[in-house]
Amino acid sequence: MSRRVLRKMARTGKAMAVSTSYPEIEGFVDCLKADETALANVVSLRFLSVAGTSNLNWSLVSHLWSKLRNLIGLDVSRTDIGPNAISSLFSSLHRLRVWCALNCSNLEEDHSFVLSNNNSKVKSLLTLFNDIFEGISSVFAENAEKEGNAFLDRRSAKCKHRNLDEIMICLEWILSHSLLRIMESSPQGLDSFWLSQGATLLISLMQSDQKDVKERAATGLATLVVIDDENASIDCGRAEAVMKGGGIYLLLYLANS
- Give the predicted TM-score (pTM) of the model: 0.81
Cα 118 from Cα 148, distance rounded (Å): 20
How far apart are the C-alpha atoms of 44 and 69, rounded to whole Å?
8
Assess if CATH 3.80.10 describes domain 3-191.
yes
For 154, other C-beta atoms within 10 Å of its C-beta total: 24
Q: Where are the domains of the chain?
A: 3-191
pLDDT truncated to tens, each residue of the chain (257 aa)?
444 444 444 444 455 555 555 556 677 766 667 788 888 988 888 889 899 988 899 999 999 999 999 998 999 999 999 999 998 998 899 888 888 999 999 988 887 777 676 555 444 788 888 888 888 888 776 555 545 566 666 566 556 666 778 888 888 988 999 999 998 887 788 889 999 999 999 999 998 889 999 999 999 988 888 877 666 678 888 888 888 878 877 877 777 77
From CA 211, how far away is CA 173, in angstroms rounded? 10
Residue pair 73/46 in contact (Cβ under 8 Å)? The answer is: yes
